[in-house]
Structure 1
Amino acid sequence: MKRLLLFACLCCASLLVSASESATKSSPHSVADMVDKLAHIVSEKGFSVIDRVYHAAVAKSAGLELLPTPLSLSGSRNLGTQLLTGQRSISVDLPVRVLVWEEPDGTV
């Protein structure tokens, strides 16, 4: 159990990077497909998708246009609570956020 917890902490810690250290990868998939694929990967790893923020829909409700830019929030109640118990300031980085967006030229 201790090894599993250590492994989970190390995996989670590798995901907790600030925006200045974030990684950007292009995808051959559409935004919707990529968001679904990420949700599947998150579920396979034992985490859950907490919420999705559809920035383009928010922009549209304000009468503005924005290409697809969904933000996916993922985490684990159990692991998140354990991390917060050790250091509450880590809550700034939780839940893990993944942004998928489409460029004007159609690349994702």
Structure 2
Amino acid sequence: MNQPTLSGIPPSAEGVITRRSPFAVLETIDRLQKAMESHHLTIFAHIDHSEGARRVGLEMQEAHVLLFGNPRSGTPLMVASPLLALDLPLKVLIWQQDKHVWVSSIDPTYLQKRYALSPELIGNIAGSETLIEQTLAAHEP
């Protein structure tokens, strides 16, 4: 379902945090990748949904997903709740709608509630939100 933005407010969904990026799509991706690598996070995949659409003759807004994480952080979570493997590795969506660039991710507290995880365990991945916030606020890569 296509939900248009109203006055620059992005569509929302339960458990999703969406922030506006002050940077273009590709610069946002580059900054996030560099920040993840500097924090010893593995980028498992970069999915370019918009390129996939172009390859089959369709058009869509720019939409990229980075799958990232650290096995030392994620493994204890999946041991405690094996179904959490459906939501790990973590993902961040960088997308454009109209003239705005957005960065969306799953709120770790949503995952904590969904899988009944302890605060200590969810702490293993809670820092991802701070990393995203700091990257979008940074003026230098």
Q: TM-score, normalised by structure 1?
A: 0.75
1:24 partner SS? strand
Aligned partner (choices 84, 107, 116) of residue 90 of structure 1: 84
Could you list the runs of 4 or more consecutive aligned residues of structure 1 that deviate by over 4 angstroms after TM superposition? none
Aligned partner (choices 37, 41, 52) of residue 47 of structure 1: 41
Aligned partner (choices 87, 100, 108) of residue 107 of structure 1: 100
Identical counterparts, % of pairs: 27
Q: Following TM superposition, by how much is the alpha carbon of 1:63 offset from its aligned partner in structure 2, in angstroms? A: 0.5
> For residue 20 of structure 1, what is the amino acid of its counterpart?
E
**C-alpha offsets along residues 22-60 of structure 1, whole Å, 9 cap, x if unaligned?**
111111101001011111221222211110110011101
Say which structure is richer in strand.
2
> For residue 66 of structure 2, what is the amino acid of its counterpart?
S
How far apart are the structure 2 equivalents of 1:84 and 1:26? 31
Consecutive unaligned residues in structure 1, runs of 5 or more: 1-18
How far apart are the structure 1 equivalents of 2:82 and 2:58? 37
Equivalent in the alignment of 1:12: none
Is 2:71 the partner of 1:77? yes
**C-alpha offsets along residues 36-94 of structure 1, whole Å, 9 cap, x if unaligned?**
11112212222111101100111011110112110110011232222222221111210
How far apart are the structure 2 equivalents of 1:45 and 1:66? 32
Consecutive unaligned residues in structure 2, runs of 5 or more: 1-12, 102-141
2:45 partner SS? strand
How far apart are the structure 2 equivalents of 1:43 and 1:86? 26
Q: TM-score, normalised by structure 2?
A: 0.58
Question: Would you say how many aligned residue pairs link Structure 1 and Structure 2?
Answer: 89
How far apart are the structure 1 equivalents of 2:33 and 2:45? 10
How far apart are the structure 1 equivalents of 2:88 and 2:75? 10
How far apart are the structure 1 equivalents of 2:14 and 2:35? 24
Is 2:20 the partner of 1:26? yes
How far apart are the structure 2 equivalents of 1:52 and 1:99? 10
Is 2:52 the partner of 1:58? yes
The range that moved more, 25-34 or 71-80, is 71-80
